[in-house]
Each structure stands twice: as C-alpha cells, then as structure tokens.
Structure 1
Amino acid sequence: MIILPAAPTAREEIEDAIETALERLEHRMISQGEGARALASAIRRATTGGKRFRPLLVAAAYDTLDGDAVPLSGLYQVAAAFELLHTAFVVHDDVIDHDLERRGIPNISGEFRQRGIDKGADDHGAALLGDAAGILAGDLLLHEAGRLVALADIPAKMRATLMTLVEDAVLVSAAGELADVENAVSAGDVDPMTVLKATRDKTAVYSFSAPLQAGAVMADADDAVQHALERFGERLGLAYQLIDDLIGAFGSTAVSGKDEGCDLREAKKTHLISLARETENWPEVSEALAQAHTGPVAIRAAQAALSASGARLALERLVYDTLEEATLIVTGSTLPSPCQMMLLDLVDSVTERVP
C-alpha cells in the first residue's frame, strides 16, 4: 500500500469533493429509471474505500511546492477528479478482463450480471447486461472527472493546462490498455520492449505523472519542476506496474485481492513472461504455464518454473533499477527539499510492495 502523509483536512476535503460528485450523479440519475438509479448506486460502491493515493499525490505536490495560487476548494476538486478517473479505468479494466469481483465482492459487472439473472435472463443476456453496466459506469465516471476539472475554481490558463494533462492521461492509458490486449491475443511472440511500453502506459501517466504535475501546475511551479515530476512519475509508475506483475504471478490473495497466481491462471503475457521466453528454460516454463489454469498445484508448478528460469529475479532487478532511476531524478533535481522528501518516501512505499 502506498501511504502519503497528508493533513486530515486534506483527506476530508478530498472525500467531500468525491462525495459531492457522486451525490450529484445519483441525483441526476433519479429521473432516468430504476436501472439507472441502480447503476449510480453501484458506481458509489465502486468508488468507496479506495486508498485515494492519486488525489493525495495532487495535494502533496501542491503542498510541498508551497502552493498558494488557487483556492483550496479548487485544489481538492481537481484532486478528486483523479480518483474518479482511476475508478473509471478500473471498472473498464474489469470488463476487458471479464472479472466479476474486486477485493472479494461483486464489481459493477458482477452486480448487474446477477441483476440480469434475477430478471430471468439467460447466461448470455446476464453477461451482456453486466458488460454494458461496466462500460457505461466507466463512461459516466470519465465524464464526471472531466467535469470536476472544467468547473474547478482555478484560473482559466491553469485549467487549460490541467485539461490537457487529464486528456493525455486518458489517451496514454487507453493506448496502453489496447496494446496490452493486442499483446495478449497475439498468436506469435511479442517483443519484450513492446510489452514493457504497454505496461508503463497503462498506469504510469494517470496514476503518478499527471497527479504530480497537476499539483505542480496549481502551485504555479516552473517548467523544470513539472518536467522532473513527469519523468519521476513515469519511472515510479513503471516500477509500480511491474510489481503488480510480480504480485499477479507470485503474490498472495491477501495482497492481490484475487486468486493466487491469477495472471498465470489467465495466461497474461506480462513482462515476466517475456523475460522467461528469452531463457533456455522456456520449454519447461511454457509447459507449466499451459497447465496453470487447472488449479493451485499447477499454479505452484508454474511459479517454480518461472523462478528456476531466472525470470523472476530478472524482473525484480528491473524493478529495483527503475526505482533507482526515479531516485536519481529526485536527488539530481532542483525540487525543494520537502518535495524531494515526499517523492523519496513514495519510492520507499512502492519498494515495500515487492512480493
């Protein structure tokens, strides 16, 4: 878990901004029928309980850069937008991956698949309703995130820059997600660098670079500061996602929120698998992976084969090298000391996620 120091007031104000957006959405959906009201309630449940580290990144960057250029209400509204953006991507990602649960409970698609069954739908119809609900919920959250930035109490020039940051985050994440799916369905080998780029694009910009830059923009920081935060966020975001690949292969259910070895069970073509493919042990690894979907014993055999090939160690080394690059960006920058300390604490928090 990534933990950011923040004044209780900041956390409370961010929660209030998220709550206000959700209440507005629920109110707007009242007149649209019982199904629309159920969707709004499901969106609220999907947005509740997150760690909020993306909006807290916005606030932390602003605070450690001595920001005082915007009203705090505007700051927290923009920060909240990044949480809604994250929830939108998570909801859409669950549809793409055909996941029906998150953290052990039904997600939006799972809720509405059951709703279809309760209404007498067959399996195909229930699945169609679940997917439709997930897609539409993500669409509504994307719109609400953009609306928060568009209406925040901030100067017009600043708003234009922030809207570009949000747009870039959506575009890069969408391209990364599409590339990830293309890699997964490809019949042939996929170049490791292609996999690595998709891994970075899916998460790094919207989760790290854009929130940090948003805080810097609202603090009226100069271009050098914004560029340093962009580069730092890209490296830290890549490391974060690579650790997710390790967790998906080797992490416990308590850590991943899914079944142990879920990525192996689903035959995901992560960078871990790309690294294994380049080893002389690949025939043994490939055979073990082909059986991973059959159950826990086969999962453990695949985990053992990956470790024996050296792929796990190689990925861990890449993670630590990437984190070192992020550290050097910070220590070699002109960022103020409070901001440097906050970023280095982030590196430590991400490092602790390695399974």
Structure 2
Amino acid sequence: MTTATGVAFGPSISTDIESEVRRALDSRADRLATLGSAAAHAWDLASRCVLGGKLLRPRLLVGAVDALTGSEQRNAEARGPAVRIAAAIELLHFAFLLHDDVIDRDLMRRGRPNFIALLLEEWEEDDGGSASRLHAARSTATLVGDLLLSTAHQIFFREATPGEAGQRLLEALDQAVLESVSGELTDVALSAGRVRPELAEVVEMSRQKTATYSFELPLRSAAILSGRGPEVEALLGQVGDLLGLAYQLQDDLLSVFGEPDDHGKDPYSDLREGKETAVIAIARRSTAWPLIEPHFGAGDLSAAEGAAVRSLLTESGAENDIRALIVELSVNARDLVFTEPDLLGPDMVMLIDDLIETLDGRRS
C-alpha cells in the first residue's frame, strides 16, 4: 500500500525530484553562462534557493503516479516523465514565490532570508542608495521568476506526448497559471481596496492562488501521465481543489495563530500588511471588528498589540469558523474519493486518505 511514510512521501521520491530539479537548473545555467555575468549569477543564486522546501507538490504528483500505475512495468514507463513534470511544478512554485515576495515586499522565506534579501546582502557595499538596491533586487527576482516560468513550460511541452493526453497535460498547466495569476490579481485588488473584502470573494481568491497549481495540477497531471482518462482526471482535480483550498486556509491560520519556530514566519506580518484573508473576512462581520480595525494594516504593530488582535480574532469566532471550514473541505474530499474507490484503485484511495491526515496535523 502507498502510505504517507512510504512510497508517496518517502525519501526516495524526494531524492529523484531534487536530482531532476538540479539537472533542469544546471541545463539552463549552461545556456545563461554564454549570455552575460548578471544573468548567470542571478540564476546561480536562485538555484541555491530553490531546493530546501517540503517538495509537497512534486512528491504528490510522483506518489500519485506510483499509486495509479500499479504494475512495475507501467510504473517504470510513467516514472521518468512524472519526475520531470514534478520538477517543472517545483520550478513553477518557486517562480510564484519570487513574484509573491516582490508583491508582498517580503525579505524572509522559510524562516531565512529570501532571494531578494540575499541579493541585498551581496550588494550592501556597492554604490547606490538602499532604495536603488532594493528596486534592483526586486526587479531581479521578477525577471528570474519569469525565466523559471518559461523553464517550467518548456519541460511540460517537451514531455507532452502527441495526441489527446498531451493536450490535456498542457491545458492543465495553462489553467493552473491562469487561475494562480487571477488569484494574485484579486489579492492585489483587495489590498488596494479595489474589491470588497467579502468572504466569498476572499475564499475564491485563496482557492485560485493555491489550490489549482499546488494540488489540482499535480493530481490531474498524475492521472494523465498514468494513462487514465478524463473521468479520473476530473475526479482527482475536484479532490485537489478541495484540499488545496483547505491548505491555503491552514496557511492563513498558521500565519496568525501558528508558532513562528514551526512555520518560519513573523506571526504578525499579515496583520501589519493588512492582508485580506478568510480569517479577516469573517472577523469583519463580528462585533470585535471595531477593536481590530485600528490595528489592521498598521505597519508599526507591536508584538503586544499583535497578540491582542490575535485574541480578538479568536473571540470573534473567526478562528473556529475557519477550522470548521477546513474540516468540511477535508471531509468532502474524502467523500469524493470513497464514492469511486474502484475507479481510482486502493493505492490511490489510501494516498489521498493519508494526505488528508498529514494536512490535518501540519504546523508549517
């Protein structure tokens, strides 16, 4: 059986994916080396930042392919393309992280300096003011993110076989990028006050930003690479949509109520930024909001004030409501899987069940 501690999420999968990511990065580095030192150096620094994450998305894809293929012969045929597409999704993920750090003006990622901050450290002694260096670092992050997006697309196009299956694979990628960018645009509009922060709008923004490329794309890709038809792809896409939204809502909770040592993020950065999350959308409708509002978006929010706001968010019912919604999404995903156990097969059913258990207990 495929379990969360076995085939689907085991170390052998991570090793294969990391090797493929390095190979893709090195191949691009060789071409960039002939085009100029600035591009080559930026790519080298980004390459050192890419690895070190949880590899959730690529491990999900490869684990799902292993669960769906069954026989050793079919598994061997599907494994190579699956690992390469999985590496592409990790590059896509890092591209989105770079763009997100530019948009959110963040200098930390995974509890340590991000790509932008590392550039600033390198350039600290160079000529030019701090504002000029910051602009240059963010511009570099944007351009490297664009190049990573291009690299991910190149891998997908190379692996897409002629015919319907290949077309479905490319369509899954295109939809993931479209929805992720749409979600980010809505997030920007919310922050600028151009869109009303209603709960439904915020939840849909969260779904688009994370669910499509983080869970739906890996699961849809796995179905296609395993030779399964549109029915299996659609079912796994629905499951990925539900679990991806649950994952993003968990992130929103961890950003405010989690332990910084676990998730590596300032617990009050979202509050200081005035980030419109589902937690805030629910709190806006509560009697506690007049007490929260003066501190929401305050760049100089102190730790003591942040702790007070966190307590008010709990008292407003927002924390419990989001936790209940996460449970509901997980239950719905599990119910979907168990309505068609023969269609997916026992290993795939077990993988999704174990994934839900893993997500339910995560702290980072």
TM-score after normalising by structure 2:
0.91
CA distance in 1 between counterparts of 2:32 and 2:322 reads 46
The answer for the alignment partner of 1:276 in structure 2 is 283
Q: CA RMSD in A?
A: 2.1
Q: Match for residue 34 of structure 1?
A: 37
Cα separation, 1, equivalents of 2:195 and 2:90: 37
SS of equivalent to 1:73: helix
Aligned residue identity for 2:358: S
* Residue number in structure 2 paired with 1:347: 356
Whether the aligned pair in 1 keeps the contact of 2:216 and 2:240 (CA below 8 Å) is: yes
* 1:12 aligned partner: 15
Q: Report the alpha carbon displacement of residue 206 of structure 1 after superposing the two structures with TM.
A: 0.3
State the shift of 1:324 in Å: 1.1
* 1:169 paired residue among 153, 164, 176: 176
Q: 8 Å contact 2:160–2:167 — kept in the other structure?
A: no
Between the aligned residues of both structures, percent identity stands at: 32
Q: 8 Å contact 2:330–2:356 — kept in the other structure?
A: yes
Q: What pairs up with 1:72-83 in 2 under 5 angstroms?
A: 72-83=79-90
Amino acid across the alignment from 2:359:
V
| Displacement of 1:345 | 0.7
Q: Displacement of 1:3 after TM fit? A: 5.5
* Other-structure match for 1:44: 47
Superposed displacement of residue 293, structure 1: 3.5
Give 1:172 shift: 0.5
Deviates more, 1:79-88 or 1:64-73: 64-73
CA shift, 1:117, in A, is: 3.5
Once the 2 structures are TM-superposed, how far is the Cα of residue 155 of structure 1 from its aligned partner? 5.0
Q: Give the drift of 1:274.
A: 0.5
Q: Which residue of 2 aligns with 1:317?
A: 324
Give the conservation status (yes or no) of the 8 Å contact 2:186–2:195.
no
Name the counterpart of 2:345.
336
**1:89-132 Cα deviation digits (max 9, x unpaired):** 11111111011221233222222233444321212211111111
Distance 2:157 2:295 in 1: 51
SS of corresponding position for 1:118: coil
Instruction: Name the structure 1 match of 2:58.
Output: 55
**What aligned pairs does 1:57-206 form with structure 2 within 5 A after superposition?**
57-66=60-69, 68=74, 70-152=77-159, 154-186=161-193, 189-206=196-213
Over 3 Å counting, the alpha-carbon distance change for 1:60 and 1:107 in structure 2 is same
Say which SS state the counterpart of residue 128 (structure 2) adopts: coil
| TM-score normalized by the length of structure 1 | 0.93
Against the structure 1 CA distance between its residues 31 and 158, is the aligned structure 2 distance closer, same or farther, given a 3 Å change threshold? same
Q: Deviations over 1:213-256 (max 9, x none)?
A: 10110111122211110110000000000010001111121222
Task: Look up the SS of the partner of 1:32 in the other structure.
Answer: coil
* Per-residue CA distance 1:14-69 (angstroms, 9 max, x = gap): 22211110101111121222221210111112211122121111111211112628
Structure 1 residue aligned with 2:251 = 244
Match of 2:230 in 1: 223
Structure 1 runs of 4+ off > 4 angstroms?
153-156
